[in-house]
Chains A and B, each alone.
Chain A
Amino acid sequence: MFAAGGHGIAELQLDPLVGADDEDGADGGVGGRGAFTKAFKKIMGCSPRQHRLRHDSVSPAYSEG
């Protein structure tokens, strides 16, 4: 589900918020929507919006010294 050597616990904690199965491809395209989305659609009767959102995990940089 995640590449080895991931980015730390903070991101792993965020992933369930956005559906961990929805790992995107390099192009960020809408193809290959994951099992999370499909299951959500089946159970809740919801559909993915045509326009996807960009999820960025960011942190402020601080110079040392």
Chain B
Amino acid sequence: MLESLDNPIWFALTTEHRILARSHGHARRYPPDVSPLAALLHPTNDAFADLRRLVSPGEHIALFTASPLDVPGDWHVDRSRWIDQMICEASLEPPHVPPVVLGTTDVPEMLALTAATDPGQLGGAALNVCGRWSWDS
């Protein structure tokens, strides 16, 4: 479990989100219209070369790693910082109302909500990542 937490994007893109993964060698990423998140199996120069095949010129992508990266010279580091990774070991009580199934007709409202709350960069295709369920409030 800890290994998956050390490389969470890789773990997601090789398990539940693997159907979304754009892959080349030891690199994975979400489609650009879903998310800028990407991952390497191990942060080697070969893996960065694999990732380069998945990234367009001028595109910025985000990597999460357990230790500072030694980025090859043909990459720019635009920003680098430590972040917290939250874990929850307690079982959360589910909501007391049934979920509503979401579809593509709900995408405009979903995007309006993300614009209002700014949870991060999401494209219309993010419906495939963010889930198909909602609870009316």
Contact = CB atoms under 8 A, between A and B. Distances in A.
Interface string B95-121: 000000000000000000000001111
A17 B62 contact: yes
Contact of B66 (A23, A47, A54): A54
B63 interface: yes
Contacts of B84: 19, 22, 33, 37, 48-49, 52-53
A64 B108 CA distance: 39
A37 B55 CA distance: 31
B76 A61 contact: yes
B41 interface: no
B80 A62 contact: no
B59 interface: yes
A44 B66 CA distance: 24
Interface of B: 5-6, 8, 36-37, 52, 55, 57-69, 71, 73-90, 92, 118-121
